[in-house]
Amino acid sequence: MKIRNQARRRALIRAAAAGALSLTLAFGGAFGGVALAGPADDITLGIQAPGPSSAGTGASQTGASGPAGSGQAQQGGQGTAATDLSFYNQTLTDPIVRPVDGYSYDQMLADLTLLAARYPGQISLQVIGQSLDGRDIYDVIVGNPSASKKVLIQGAIHAREYIVIPLIMQQIEYLLAGQQGGGTYQGRPLSELLSQVAIHFVPVTNPDGVTLSQMGESGIRSPQLRQIIQTAYVLDTAEGRTQLGYDEYLRRWKANARGVDLNYNFDAEWNAINPALIHASSNGFRGTSPLSEPESQALASLVTQNAFSAVVSYHAMGRVLYWDTQDNLKAAESYEMAQGVAAATGYSILGSKGRGGLKDWAQKTQGIPSVTIEVGQSMCPVAFSEYPAIWDQNKAVAAYLASYVLSH
């Protein structure tokens, strides 16, 4: 298996340096995402928390598809509609990334290989770590790798939240296609924007957990890890933490393959997180120590080795944004960034102080403005029928973040 992983890694790196196909943009069409409601019993999360030094003021919850209305076609004189060149509103005539229900880690690898071949010189791939079950964790860089301004966007740190993988992959492809095809962001050439910023994407932080949630126990290769998962189910059942059958328990799994909740594994109020839970579990176990897991170590190393100007984590669900933590070194900046993301997505801003997560650690110990974006409304795994709306709400986020860090 190690040989196969090494061969796949070499193929990806070779593809990043090779030229192949080209992509054209059909500028006449626009992606028409339709908002889809969740189940009737979904909890409505519409409360907006005031930011630092504010009196309840926040981003407008109008559902605009981009900052400052950037999702709307520009209007020419005397009512004539000008051509909308906004990169995220174009129709890709031959897209590589084709979102499907249960878009997998292996599909991501295949698509990264094709993207690297189609866009030589525009995309860089690097392996930043390996999961417990031997899957590489990829950092995908779009823009100028040498730029002083850098953004990190990561997703699928929670296994069952894999709806965010095709979202991040489409964000990558649309940036590449827009850069190549003359697309714009708020009237500015996208190529100019990306020449000044490096956007780092980690589409799948928790590849073992995602595979377990999608495929069940058969997706885990290591007998030792399968035993840990089985034991977690026995203990969670005995303690009343779950009443689900085994297959559904795995489908709703959040942790990595060792039963550690990776978004509780960072050193930000770590000691206060579920101290009574001392064993592997589908969710909620903080681990034996901060950064005890290779997946969280990979993210932490990526952050400490790069002077990121912003960090964004994609999660599911709720259509809400989280921006704060205890002793937040970048509270005002994080809230300001959340306001911009709210304008882009139409999501509500909540003031809950997170702990143990990447966002919290980045704000508290690294001094980096950070936001968590929760997509979708239905119970995780989020229903794939929501995906068109999720894409429409989030298609401009990466470009907004690039523009934000350049202006701050």
What does the pLDDT look like over 329-371, one tens digit per residue?
999 999 999 999 999 999 999 988 889 999 999 999 999 999 9
The CA distance from 401 to 280, in Å, is: 36
Residues contacting 54, CB < 8 A, separation 6+: 335
pTM: 0.83
Report the pLDDT value the prediction gives residue 373, as an integer from 0 to 100.
Answer: 98
Q: Where are the domains of the chain?
A: 103-408
| Residue 56: per-residue pLDDT | 38
Q: What is the mean pLDDT of residues 63-68?
A: 36
The two three-digit tokens of residue 307, written as one number: 């002077």
> For 133-175, how does the pLDDT look when each residue is reduced to its tens digit (9 = 90+)?
999 999 999 999 999 999 999 999 999 999 999 999 999 999 9
Confidence band (pLDDT; 50, 70, 90) for 61?
very low
SS3 225: helix
Largest CA distance in the chain: 71
Q: What is the distance, to the nearest Å, from the Cα of residue 179 to the centroid of all Cα atoms in its chain?
A: 21
**Cα(85)–Cα(183) distance, rounded to whole angstroms?**
5
Going by their DSSP bridges, the two strands 184-185 and 188-189 should be labelled as antiparallel
| Interatomic CA distance for residues 384 and 404, integer angstroms | 30
Higher-confidence position of 90 and 14: 90
Q: H helices of 66-118, where?
A: 105-118
pLDDT-derived band at 10, boundaries 50, 70, 90: low
Rounded Cα distance between 241 and 336, Å, is: 38
DSSP 80: P
**Per-residue pLDDT at 25 exceeds 60:** no
Among 72, 92, 53, which residue's Cα sits nearest to residue 344? Answer: 72
DSSP alpha helices (H): ranges in 147-305?
164-181, 190-194, 207-215, 223-238, 246-251, 294-305
Burial of residue 95 (number of CB atoms within 10 Å: 0-12, 13-18, 19+): middle
pLDDT at 93: 93
Report pLDDT for 5. 53
Residue 104 has pLDDT above 60, yes or no: yes
Eight-state DSSP code of residue 364: H
Alpha carbons 275 and 129: distance in angstroms, whole number: 28
Quick one: pLDDT band at residue 84, thresholds 50, 70, 90?
confident
The CATH architecture annotation of domain 103-408 reads 3-Layer(aba) Sandwich (3.40)
